[in-house]
Copies of this chain bind each other. A is one copy, B any other.
Amino acid sequence: MRVVLAEDQGMVRGALSVLLGIEPDIEVVASASDGEEAFRAVGKHRPDVLVTDIEMPRLTGLELAVKVRELYPETRVLMLTTFARPGYLRRALEAGAHGYLLKDRPSTELADAVRRISRGQRVVDSDLAAEAWGAEADPLSDREREILRRAGEGESTAEVARGLRLSEGTVRNYLSEAISKMGAHNRIEAARLARTKGWL
């Protein structure tokens, strides 16, 4: 079974590679430290499974999953991430991931998950799946999300407006809408809430 591994932290990448490599039926044919590199590696090696982190430089795991599904649908994707956020799980599955495994889980589950996925089964953390089922859907529009994200990083209304070529008034309108949708009292709280739900 041939695997490509994408994970930005060198130490973790190396360790996971060894962990998978000791399984007799699994071979790690390439590992990548960012999404772009991972995409090229998938194109070159056409692996059975891509194991990828979500938060990576240049191309996130979610964006990577979309591109892989489009160009190399025979490669199945396993998201391996720190974040137990229902919104992430939902987006991962929408992006075409076949599995979603938390880094919290025992390391013994990884090889097993890879095997199940390569057989065409879905692998989803059961606690998280239950939570995601009851969880509200992301109410934010793309624009609202992008603007809230920038504001949450400390950009002022004027900076966001310049960055997106919008008028300041428009930016304030979107933020007002986002704050109200999140049930928050200001942009900071709204961004923080959205982050914990996995919507940013």
Which residues of A come within 8 Å of B, CB atoms? 8-19, 22, 80, 82, 101-110, 151-156, 184-192
Contact = CB atoms under 8 A, between A and B. Distances in A.
Given A10-B103, A11-B105, 14 more contacts: A11-B101, A11-B104, A12-B15, A12-B103, A12-B107, A13-B107, A15-B18, A17-B107, A152-B188, A153-B188, A154-B184, A154-B185, A156-B185, A187-B188
Contact of A10 (B8, B14, B104): B104
Contacts of A9: 82, 103-104
How many chain copies does the complex carry? Answer: 2
A155 B187 CA distance: 10
A16 B184 CA distance: 39
A80 B186 contact: no
Given A9-B103, A9-B104, A104-B9, A189 B154 contact: yes
Contacts of A22: 18
Nearest to A192: B154
A84 to B, nearest CB: 11
Nearest to A22: B18
A101 B12 CA distance: 12
A107 B10 contact: yes
A124 to B, nearest CB: 16
